[in-house]
Amino acid sequence: MLTAQIGRLLRHPAYRRESVVSSLLKRHLPGDAGYAWNGEAALRERLGRAGLDAASIDHLIRNTQAEIQRLRGPADA
């Protein structure tokens, strides 16, 4: 689920790595991005090697979802 969410974030046209709020998320985001990004397998392997605990994974999931929501803009826009 985490890699799929990060993939959605990286493919979003408004995504800018430098605007990501969470330092933990930024640390684990790949450097490349764009509509055609297809690095889920490499990302999954990289996150597996990182040995993240459940709390860190939860943090990454929540913050990835928050970043996607932020890129969509306010709900009343």
Q: In 1-77, at which residue ranges do the beta strands (DSSP E only) sit?
A: none
Q: Which residue has the tokens 């985490």?
A: 2
What pTM did the predictor assign? 0.88
Count the neighbouring beta carbons within 10 Å of the beta carbon of residue 7.
18
* Percent of the chain residues past pLDDT 90, beyond the cut: 87
Counting Cα atoms < 13 Å in the Cβ hemisphere of 76 gives: 0
- Shortest CA distance to 77 belongs to which of 2, 14, 6? 14
Q: Model confidence over 30-45: pLDDT tens digits?
A: 999 999 999 999 999 9
